[in-house]
Structure 1
Amino acid sequence: MVADRRTPDAPLFLRLAGEQLRWDLLRELARSDLRVGDLITAVGQPQSLVSYHLRKLRSGGLVSSRRSSADGRDTYYRLDLGRCAELLAGTGQGLHPALDLVPPAPPAEESVRGRVLFLCTGNSSRSQMAEALLRHRAPRVEVMSAGSHPKPLHPNAFAVMRERGIDLSGHRSKHLDEFAGQHFDHVISLCDKVREVCPEFPGHPGLVHWSMPDPSAAGDTAEVGYPAFSRAADELSTRIGFLVQNLAHPRPQETRS
């Protein structure tokens, strides 16, 4: 009798990312949240093909989407880097125990440097929390935040950051014009509206977009307002963890033919 030599299916990450166009889409989304039109331009493929492969990546849990708050006809796609890390860990071990993926150690504080600007519309919550979280995580990074229509810091932003051991009492709202002409290694927009009006900065750092809902839009009651700010802070903390690794180990600029 012949022994059954069937093996388990290839790991999910390989099945999802092993196709070249899907790999290209993942690479683009690892840098920034993007719309279908942005991805079509980046990978040079027709919309039908890009949309088909995005559906595959969404069904596998690597990519999620949300409607743009600037234009409800648009949808931003986001790569879940945490989910990628989980699946990659299982991919190596599925082939051989010696290939178990070891998560990278936190980078040494002195290796994390650069100038980062976070932007949103009001500079009252998302960008202020992002600024504070990155400064707390990487004190040697010069980090700032601003808005296209600044307004006072939201009380829930103070409360959520205080819960995480960070004091926002020295922060003030600033207009993005205050930083015109300055050089930044990373300019990161957190609001779909400000992405549309963000000016160019010297050196053309390239705008990175994190499409995040405005937590203040959930309402001001404790039941819905505070949890929305807490969710925003959690998402920012996760994204900033990956940003810190990027600041410590910057990827060379790629050129497209």
Structure 2
Amino acid sequence: MTVPGGAAATPPDVLRLTGHPVRWQLLSELARSDRQVRELTALVGQRQSLTSYHLAQLRDAGLVTMRRSSADKRDAYYSLDLAACRDRLAAAGAALHPGLRLVPAAPTPAPGSGRGRARPVRVLFLCTGNSSRSQLAEAILQQLGGARVEAASAGSDPKGLHPHAVRAMRERGVDIGGRRSKHLDEFLEQRFDYVISLCDRLRERCPEFPGPAQTAHWSIPDPAAEATAEDDNYSAFARTADELHTRIQFLLYAIERATSPPERG
């Protein structure tokens, strides 16, 4: 149905879906960190059955995904698909008026643009072995963030750097072949602005770090555990690198907003 002038009389589904107060709160919480359903239930102050209902609505719309925890298969982590949200909301704006289409900014400001900050933002990525996921995240953030950020990675049970992680970064123009796996104990006395766990097992026993670091969890499966007969699981490493690249782009948006001086009117 349309109204005079050709505008749609019914709002796009994404607006009606995300406009519900509970679903909007769920999206807001998942924009900060991947969460288990019991955590989301406590955060939104609703019954678990109602929280699960709204999560199912968001999953059916393709805005939220769910993965079984690698620490306990009875648990699951919910994640917000930020790229899908961006695209759906951009289309909703354009449905109202072409001038309201959201035009995505450049994924990241030019590497090295610190905008006068006194020091780079420090980010620590953690997983169990520090052999693939956290190493990939560290290298991708260094590549995209330039001088604005100082990235590090560590593990609770360090193993040697996986050759597929080296290959995945080499295909992105970065050589990490000479890097070593580090134990998280090396960083316990250091201050970070962001501490991000990538492993479900480590998240549940992650130590405290000094200072008011923002903590988040990205539930990402271990690519080394996804072996296939066809390619000895390299494709899992490529997928992991792709997912980390997308998440880190959005992390840099958040860092830039948090550290940029307010605009003057």
- TM-score computed with the length of structure 1 as normaliser: 0.92
Cα deviation, residue 8, structure 1: 4.9
Equivalent positions of 1:59-74 (< 5 A) are 59-74=60-75
Structure-1 residue corresponding to 2:241: 233
Stretches (4+) displaced over 4 A? 3-6
- Please tell me the residue identity of whatever aligns with 1:34: R
Structure-1 residue corresponding to 2:24: 23
Change (3 A) 1:189 1:172: same
CA distance in 1: counterparts of 2:84 and 2:3, whole angstroms: 33
Change (3 A) 1:188 1:89: same
Structure 1 contact 111–248 (Cα < 8 Å) conserved: no
Structure 2's unaligned 5+ residue stretches are 261-265
CA distance in 2: counterparts of 1:136 and 1:193, whole angstroms: 27
Structure 1's unaligned 5+ residue stretches are 253-257
Paired residues, what number? 250
Tell me which moved more, 30-39 or 202-211: 202-211
CA distance in 1: counterparts of 2:85 and 2:222, whole angstroms: 26
SS in 2 for 1:249: helix
Q: Is residue 2:218 matched to residue 1:210? A: yes
Structure 2 contact 3–9 (Cα < 8 Å) conserved: no
- Please tell me the residue identity of whatever aligns with 2:109: P
Deviations 1:169-203 (A, max 9, x none): 23110011110021111101111011011111112
CA distance in 2: counterparts of 1:121 and 1:9, whole angstroms: 49
SS in 1 for 2:146: coil
CA distance in 2: counterparts of 1:218 and 1:97, whole angstroms: 44
Structure-2 residue corresponding to 1:124: 131
Structure-1 residue corresponding to 2:263: none
Q: Is residue 2:37 matched to residue 1:36? A: yes
- Please tell me the residue identity of whatever aligns with 2:237: F
Change (3 A) 1:153 1:177: same
Cα deviation, residue 108, structure 1: 4.4
Equivalent positions of 1:58-97 (< 5 A) are 58-97=59-98
Deviations 1:193-225 (A, max 9, x none): 110111111123242001011000122766141
Structure 1 contact 126–232 (Cα < 8 Å) conserved: yes
CA distance in 1: counterparts of 2:105 and 2:171, whole angstroms: 27
Cα deviation, residue 11, structure 1: 1.2
CA distance in 1: counterparts of 2:60 and 2:230, whole angstroms: 34
Change (3 A) 1:40 1:240: same
- Please tell me the residue identity of whatever aligns with 1:230: A
Structure-1 residue corresponding to 2:173: 165
User: Which of 100, 106, 109 in structure 2 is aligned with 1:107?
Assistant: 109
User: Which of 155, 167, 186 in structure 1 is aligned with 2:163?
Assistant: 155
Cα deviation, residue 139, structure 1: 1.7
- Paired-residue identity, %: 56
Cα deviation, residue 48, structure 1: 1.3
- Please tell me the residue identity of whatever aligns with 1:107: P
- TM-score computed with the length of structure 2 as normaliser: 0.89
Structure-2 residue corresponding to 1:255: none
